[in-house]
Chain A
Amino acid sequence: MTTTHVGSKVLVPLDGSREVRAALGPAAEIAAVSGGELVLTLIVTSSFERMVAEFSRQEHSTAEEAASSYLYQVESGLCGELDDVSITREIRTGSDPAKAILHVAEEVDATMIAMTSHGHSGFKKLMLGSVAKSVLDHATIPVLLVPHSGRGTQAAESKAEKGEGD
């Protein structure tokens, strides 16, 4: 087997929430060191549309526009660190976001999907949201799970939530 020198094409599903963005750093790092690409993906679902309607300060005529503006904002936030990494944005609409994410991954020939997990600490008791879980269960390419709290802070976090239980 020869080692390939084609860079890693990492797809990062985003949904407008801050939590899922934790995967961006490690995903960008992988894309950067391998001379690969980053694919920012947002599936417009009815909950995204609701979020836009409630929280968006700007006027958007469609949820797709809001999605586009959001991804552009995320991309600009990354650009400082990533000179050689090509970043693309993929927006789809669908009622089954996990399925849509996997479709995009196939369409663009992604070599990895990067998502955020809560690990066992964090605010949610579930390790992964249902969409992330479904993507993990059905992906045929490697899936990177980035702990939301960041590595090394686990001990501090479990102390903080001692009363919460598991």
Chain B
Amino acid sequence: MGRIVVGIDGSRESRAALDEAIREAEWRNAAVEAVMVIIVPAAATLDLGTVDIERLRAFGDEVSERELEAARERYDGTFPVPVEHRARVGHPGSELIRAAGGDGSDEEPAELLVLGSRGLGGFKGLLLGSVTSYVSHHPPCPLLIVRPTADDVYAEQAQDEAE
């Protein structure tokens, strides 16, 4: 079964990206692999003794599981295709490229890598986020860049109000 990799980070852009990835997977009869990358500050990587990679990865797994739970609600409890989640630790651009089978990976290239046009970071008015921009310069496979639709915005507003 082919796989479609989608980057998630809790933003509404990545929510839209996940929905698009699921749509694409349905059409191709593929599985979706949702990847969340936990960023490790550069200073920490210089002294790996103080950074517990496994702990960060476990944290990432927890957060991405929660993201998928929330997403599952939008599909009445069941995704129409197999959706797995996987957390990685490191530089988000490189890790996403690796997850999709790019340089430094042992895996087969994904059929498609889906990313939001931007994520949680950056500044207002930024058209293309730095991670998406980075990945688009080293594409491991075709890259689908997704912006949230008006529906996504309303859904998020409703969620914010409910909380």
Question: B-contacting residues of A (Cβ < 8 Å)?
Answer: 1-4, 8, 26, 30, 33-34, 112, 117, 119-120, 127-128, 136-147, 151-152, 154-155
Contacts and interface: CB of A to CB of B under 8 A. Distances in A.
A3 B26 contact: yes
Say what secondary structure dominates the interface of chain B.
loop
A34 B103 contact: no
Interface string B124-163: 0001100000001111111111110100000000000000
Given A119-B137, A143-B144, A151-B141, A1 B75 contact: yes
Given A8-B27, A139-B147, A142-B147, A151 B140 contact: yes
Nearest to B16: A142
Interface of B: 19-20, 22-24, 26-28, 74-76, 80, 101-103, 109, 127-128, 136-147, 149
Given A127-B137, A151-B139, A145 B145 contact: yes
Contact of B109 (A1, A141, A145, A151): A151
Contacts of A136: 128, 145
Nearest to B155: A1
A118 to B, nearest CB: 9
Select the residue from B74, B75, B136 with max chain A CB neighbours within 10 A.
B136
Contacts, number: 75
Contacts of A1: 19, 74-76
B136 A144 contact: no
A129 to B, nearest CB: 13
Nearest to B102: A154
A154 B138 contact: yes
B75 A3 contact: yes
Contacts of B139: 117, 119, 145, 147, 151, 154
A159 B159 CA distance: 49
